[in-house]
Structure 1
Amino acid sequence: MNKKNNYTYIDLFAGAGGLTIGFGNKGFHLELANDIAEPALDTLKYNLKNTHPETNQERVILGDIKELYEHLGTGNVDYEMQGHMVVETNKEIELRKRTPSVRNNETVKNTLLEISHVDVLVGGPPCQGFSMIGRSKKANLEERTKGFIDDPRNQLFKYYLKFAEKLSPKLVLIENVKGLASASGYRDLIENSLKITGELGYDTSSKILNAKDFGLAQNRERIFFIGLRKDLAEKFNLTAEEIFETIIANKKQPPKLKDVIFDLPQIKANPKPNNYKEESEYSFSNPDCFGKNISDLSYKTLISKGKNYNNYKKLINTYKGKQLEPKHLYNHKSRYHNERDRFIYKHLVPGKYLNDPVNEKALSKVTYGIVKDENGNKKVSGFEDKYFKLDPESVSKTIIAHLETDGNSYVHPGEFPRSITPREAARIQSFPDWYFFTGNTRNQLKQIGNAVPPVLGSVFAEAFKEALDRINENEK
């Protein structure tokens, strides 16, 4: 598959496929994708017919990377500890128990043996707790940082790098939460580990980038690591830092949130708790509609009513130079909210925190985390955005996996205040409208929150493609 301009890549910790869309959009061929979360990987696999029709579905592998890497024959993974070992939680243990073992799976083994080399390795090894690193008062920052580094879940990037060691890709991309940048030891640990990966090693660089700087209506900061194989860096006078410079040169102004989600049907909140079965849904022609997982009316009918097809929707729905349009509107279905929450939602002022005086009426119904200030006024302690209405004239706050649990801090600013739907979250994350999320509504939101925005993935893919073209041209 390594013809000119037809580069190959592997996506580990692939989730629902944000990076998969981004790299596929720029013509990269997917050799292998892996994750331990079955619903997310089901979504990636379901959409493979659009994103990578030439990739065999057996190459989308559900399994623990700790078992997957054993088929590579690259030796043991050495953890780097600082004396504060943290044991895995029951939630993590249960997740691994539910996931089918690939340790003795001959199909998986043979699939890996078939791959002798890839041009690019991408992925986001999960790092537990770094988004919360500064919030605990139980220990000083240095002690907390050591504990997070020692958490076995935070050593998963070592397994990721085993694939780089075995396959010697020209380029490596790692995405992670911004919080680990505060843990300087962990940022250095990843960079230094990548530098000495394989016989040749990698020239590395890392930067924190914000999605809103690349044409997305979302304030989403994440840290990215780039590795360029050292022999190529030296031979072609190219560095990982230069690749970042190419990426940063592609910065664009963000759209307003209203231009991203307001053309979607203004549906109402789900009227009943746990009311997610298809037979409970109303038609989109019904004024009481709270959405449907797959619309009964056509996408064109629902989206085009009095709305211009703006540049943002052209951007997210264009794939390999062609605009794709689904037959139906997918995953636009709201959740149930109790009467108290609906009152709070209604009286929230977009873009203003709960303790702002303009939100006094909304705050009056908040029942937890309440304190009185020195003047006897009611305030919330802790997170002021535990209830928050998004500002249609600005960008959204970061779409996170916690949306699975509740949407109180992601209230739609439209006609019917409610938490945003999976499709609205997907729009903010820059997923195409033709990308269908499998699983229930809650899990769809988790998948979307965990993903790398596809448009940002495309920015990296374009920069990587330029670097690979430069290498290929000079190798002739």
Structure 2
Amino acid sequence: MKNKKKYTYIDLFAGAGGLTIGFGNNGFHLEVANDIAEPALNTLKQNLKLTHPKTHLDRVILGDIKELYEHLGNGEVVYNMQGHMVIETNKEVELRKKVPSVKDNVEIKNILSKITHVDVLAGGPPCQGFSMIGRSKKSTLEERTKGFIDDPRNQLFKYYLKFAEKLSPKLVLIENVKGLASASGYRDLIEKSLSDTGEYGYDAASWVLNAKDFGLAQNRERIFFIGVRRDLSEKHDITASGIFEEIIKEKKGPVKLKEVISDLPQIKANPKPNNYQEEAEISFNNKKLCFGRNISDIIYDDLISKTVDSNYRKKINTYRGELKKPELLFNHKSRYHNDRDLFIYKNLVPGKYLNDPANEKALSKVTYGVVIDENGKKKVKGFGDKYFKLDPESVSKTIIAHLETDGNSYVHPGEFPRSITPREAARIQSFPDWYFFTGSTRNQLKQIGNAVPPMLSSVFAEQFKNVLDSIIENEK
């Protein structure tokens, strides 16, 4: 008989909720979610009643993780600066300026001070600091780890570990960009720092996983770290590597892009710049002019093509064993492209880079980064996928936050070439169709690109639930 215990988790750096969907899908109760990106957190809040109906909205907290940690009752974290310079980008500084302080927020303090333990801590803390001691080959791993942790550029990661130290979760999950696996030995440093965290420490391991190996139509490599609290690891013979081995067993073949997005309405490019107001939208009934709508004016079932295999659609829309269908289609709205870009889009060959001979006609209109080679041929230098049409017979490129700025390298392969819409990007990321993204069309794309694919996060959540179930069974 399966254990019915409700496991708890905290999602730090939660964004729009990619991890949150996966853990909610496996019955985990969300104690707290936090981020400093307000539009993304608004999206998580907007959908909370569907993903976590028993979690109150006040548990989704917009604020600086440092101030949240202080509400756990430990006071400020003291840094050993080691002579490092604090380096922050202008975007980070501006983002922090916009976030309201929660330092003196009594309600938030009351929520956090009552949390003494969670089963799982999950999130994707940034790890950006390249400390000099971390680069030294002569220094020990302990010295390099200390340099890494104490580097003020890694303060967000340090606070993430402080949450683990304070709450002693049984399991810890960290997600980050693949490049971290080879950058200055960071992989070893993060495993070592996780290993040394808290009263017990954690058995830690990491693995680079590709979303396309787990049933997604997307080539997306990310590194994941798992920590198992060492007392439980030793007592129950559960290792982080063992959990990864079970996750690897869940691998399945990728699906083709056409199986993921071709059932969505074929819409045209937005005809005017800055034309994103609701009153400018055109009905989906007008197939000649419609460039999509943020919320459709026709019911979902009438807009989705019935001729396309629905297995993928059913999979992403099934939550806690129940197929959920929205009444309307959300976030399927295209943006404006100038005539030059539309010409390039039309003449791109799906799956071929700009310098491929097949794209000669498209390349003829490209003006940025162009060089003439020794044979007198026009080429682009350094960014062969500056313009790129997705191949319906293959998987998509990695959906990234840069889509907010430029969709030229994510051209839809359908009847009306244009950059993909937020809903199409969300489909490729495996977000449910009933998941509504708030904010501007551009910001929706940023939220989607930053997220952990829900289908992949669900694989982790399922394995974590199995581990927690086994611990309870063994302790009976």
TM over 0.5: yes
User: What are the Cα deviations for residues 163-197 of structure 1, in whole angstroms up to 9, with x where unaligned?
Assistant: 11111000000000001111143222211111111
Q: What corresponds to 1:125 in structure 2? A: 125
For 2:414, the equivalent position in structure 1 comes to 414
Paired with 2:318 and 2:80, the residues of 1 have a C-alpha distance of 43
Change (3 A) 1:189 1:79: farther
State the 1:153 CA deviation: 4.5
Counterpart position of 1:188: 188
Q: Which residue of 1 aligns with 2:36?
A: 36
Range 101-110 or range 392-401, more displaced: 101-110
SS of residue paired to 2:32: strand
Task: Pick closer, same or farther for the CA change 1:345–1:55 going to 2, 3 Å.
Answer: same
Does the 8 Å CA contact 2:10/2:30 hold for their aligned counterparts? yes
- Offset, 1:30: 0.4
Identify unmatched segments of 5+ residues in structure 2: 137-143
**Kept in 2: contact 1:88–1:152 (CA 8 A):** no
One-letter code aligned to 1:202: Y
Task: Tell whether the 8 Å contact from 1:16 to 1:451 is kept in structure 2 after alignment.
Answer: yes
Which residue does 2:319 correspond to in 1? Answer: 319
AA at the equivalent of 1:87: I
2:277 is aligned with 1:280:
no
Q: CA deviation at 1:357?
A: 0.7
Are 2:297 and 1:299 equivalent residues in the alignment? no
1:309 Cα shift? 5.0
8 Å CA contact 1:126–1:153 kept in 2: the answer is no
Which residue is 1:452 aligned to?
452
SS at match of 1:169: coil
- Asked if 1:175 corresponds to 2:171, the answer is no
Partner of 2:423: 423
CA shift, 1:214, in A, is: 0.3
Alignment-mate amino acid for residue 457 of structure 1 = S
Q: Please tell me whether residue 10 in structure 1 is matched to residue 10 in structure 2.
A: yes
Q: Check 1:129–1:418 CA distance in 2 against 1; reply closer, same or farther (3 A cut).
A: farther
2:185 partner SS: helix
Q: How far off is 1:80 after superposition?
A: 7.5
* 8 A Cα contact 2:334 2:418, kept in partner: yes
Q: Which residue of 1 aligns with 2:89?
A: 89
Give the CA deviation at 1:79. 5.4
3-state SS of the aligned residue for 1:33? strand
Aligned to 1:379: 379
Shift of 1:306: 3.5
- Normalised to the residue count of structure 2, the TM-score between the two structures is 0.93
Please name the residue that 1:329 is paired with. 329
**Alignment correspondent of 1:101:** 101
The CA distance in 2 between the partners of 1:253 and 1:81, in whole Å, is 47
Q: CA–CA distance in 2 between the matches of 1:199 and 1:391?
A: 51
1:392 aligns with 2:392: yes
> Is residue 2:268 matched to residue 1:271?
no
What are the Cα deviations for residues 394-422 of structure 1, in whole angstroms up to 9, with x where unaligned?
00000000000010000000000000000
Residue 315 and residue 444 in structure 1: after superposition, are their counterparts in 2 closer, same or farther (change >3 A)? same
> Structure 1 residues 69-78 or 443-452, which shifts more?
69-78
**Counterpart for residue 136 of structure 1:** none
**Residues in 2 aligned to 1:445 and 1:208: alpha-carbon distance in whole angstroms:** 24
Question: Where do residues 342-381 of structure 1 align in structure 2 (5 Å cutoff)?
Answer: 342-381=342-381
Whichever residue aligns with residue 298 of structure 1, its letter is I
Kept in 2, the 8 Å contact 1:11–1:32? The answer is yes
Q: What is the Cα-based RMSD across aligned positions, in Å?
A: 2.1
Amino acid paired to 1:276: Y
Partner of 1:163: 163
| Native 8 Å contact 1:388 1:411 kept in 2 | yes
Write the distance in 1 (CA, Å) between the matches of 2:241 and 2:248.
Answer: 10
The code of the aligned residue for 2:301 comes to: K
Q: Counterpart in 2 of 1:57?
A: 57
Kindly state the Cα deviation for residue 349 of structure 1 after the two structures are TM-superposed: 0.5
Asked if the contact 1:81/1:149 (under 8 Å) is kept, the reply is no
Answer with 25-34 or 87-96: which moved more: 87-96
Q: Cα distance, 1:113 vs. partner?
A: 1.1
Residue number in structure 1 paired with 2:139: none
2:291 pairs with 1:290: yes
Aligned pair count? Answer: 463
Q: Which residue of 2 aligns with 1:138?
A: none
What letter matches 2:341 in structure 1? D
Q: Report SS of the residue matched to 2:199.
A: coil
What letter matches 1:53 in structure 2? P
Unaligned runs of 5+ in 1: 131-140
Deviations 1:292-320 (A, max 9, x none): 000000000001x4324521111100000
Instruction: Tell me the amino acid that sits aligned with residue 296 of structure 1.
Output: D
Residues 276-307 of structure 1, C-alpha deviations (whole Å, 9 max, x = no match): 0000000001021000000000000001x432
The question of whether the paired residues in 1 share the 8 Å contact of 2:149 and 2:193 is answered with no
1:219-240 per-residue CA deviation (whole Å, 9 max, x = no partner) reads: 0000000000000000001100
1:246-302 deviations in Å (ceiling 9; x for gaps): 100000111100000000000000000000000000000102100000000000000
How far did residue 68 of structure 1 move?
1.1
Q: For the residues of structure 2 that align with 1:385 and 1:80, how far apart are their CA atoms?
A: 43
* Identity across matched positions, percent: 78
Cα distance between partner residues in 2 of 1:151 and 1:349: 46
Pair 129,402 (structure 1): closer, same or farther in 2 beyond 3 Å: farther
Distance 1:79 1:94 in 2: 23
**Structure-2 residue corresponding to 1:442:** 442
Is it true that 1:22 corresponds to 2:28 in the alignment? Answer: no
1:142 CA displacement: 5.5
Give the aligned partner of residue 133 of structure 1: none
Q: CA deviation at 1:149?
A: 8.6
Alpha-carbon contact 1:233-1:239 (below 8 Å) kept: yes
Q: What is the CA-CA distance between 1:35 and the residue it aligns to?
A: 0.3
Q: Distance in 2 between matches of 1:321 and 1:306?
A: 22
1:94 is displaced (CA, Å) by 1.3
Checking the alignment, whether the CA contact within 8 Å between 2:129 and 2:153 is kept in structure 1 is no
1:351 alignment partner, SS class: coil
**Is the partner of 1:358 in helix, strand or coil?**
helix
1:86 touches 1:150 (CA, 8 Å); kept in 2?
Answer: no
Range with bigger deviation, 380-389 or 309-318 = 309-318
- Indicate the SS of the match to 1:47: helix
- Aligned letter for 1:48? L
- Tell me how far 1:75 sits from its aligned partner: 5.4
- Aligned partners of 2:60 and 2:346: how far apart in 1? 43
